[in-house]
Amino acid sequence: MKLRHYETMFLLHPELSSDDRDDAIEKFSSIITHDGGQVVHTDKWPLKKLAYKVQKQTHGYYVVMDFGAKSSTIQELTRNFRLDERVMKFITTKLDDEFNPEEAAKKYAEAEKEGESEAEPSSESSTEGKEEE
């Protein structure tokens, strides 16, 4: 079973509760894992203002999923996105022909470390300015 590396971004309806959003994410994750795939990372964004109206809505919740799956899984995932009324828009991109879960997970771990290290210097620089006064 050869898995390919994919990323899917989908837009959820702005009137969904937190539980409804989590249920939708779990549904799509289970479609991936049920067929032998593996979800590496799920990024849930807060409510965002859209650049243009989508299904008469001006806001929505974006979700980005990074995963490995077979091509047949993508067809099933696409079918479910189209049928689910909670999803306003979606796009799936193939990142690579080969899926390596360790490399994909490492990428997100490094990004989190960079985010933490970037936050630290800004707090240090603000204290340095206070010490000089």
What is the per-residue pLDDT across 49-91, written as a single tens digit (0 to 9) for each?
Answer: 999 999 999 999 999 999 999 999 999 999 999 999 999 999 9
91 and 111 in a common domain? no
pTM: 0.80
Is 119's pLDDT higher than 80?
Answer: no
Q: What is the domain range of residue 131?
A: 101-133
The CATH number of residue 33's host domain is 3.30.70.60
Kindly state the helix (H) or strand (E) to which residue 73 belongs, with its residue range.
helix 71-83
117 and 85 in a common domain? no
Token pair belonging to 122: 């800004």
Is 128's pLDDT higher than 70?
Answer: no
Task: Give me the pLDDT at residue 129, please.
Answer: 44
Task: Give me the pLDDT at residue 111, please.
Answer: 77
**Total domains present in the chain:** 2
Task: Give me the pLDDT at residue 121, please.
Answer: 45
25 and 46 in a common domain? yes
Distance, in Å, from the CA atom of 29 to the CA atom of 32, rounded to the nearest integer, reads 5
Residues whose CB falls within 8 Å of the CB of residue 13, separated by 6 or more in sequence, listed in order: 55, 57, 60, 61, 85, 86, 87, 88
113 and 91 in a common domain? no
69 and 128 in a common domain? no
Query: How many percent of the chain have pLDDT more than 70?
Result: 85
35 and 93 in a common domain? yes
Can you point out the beta strands (E) in the chain? 4-12, 38-54, 57-69, 87-96
124 and 64 in a common domain? no
Residue 102: pLDDT band (50, 70, 90) is confident
115 and 53 in a common domain? no
118 and 81 in a common domain? no
Q: Please give the average per-residue pLDDT across 92-111, as a whole number.
A: 87
106 and 94 in a common domain? no
Task: Give me the pLDDT at residue 1, please.
Answer: 67
Distance, in Å, from the CA atom of 22 to the CA atom of 121, rounded to the nearest integer, reads 34
First-residue to last-residue Cα distance in the chain: 64
Distance, in Å, from the CA atom of 30 to the CA atom of 36, rounded to the nearest integer, reads 10
53 and 109 in a common domain? no
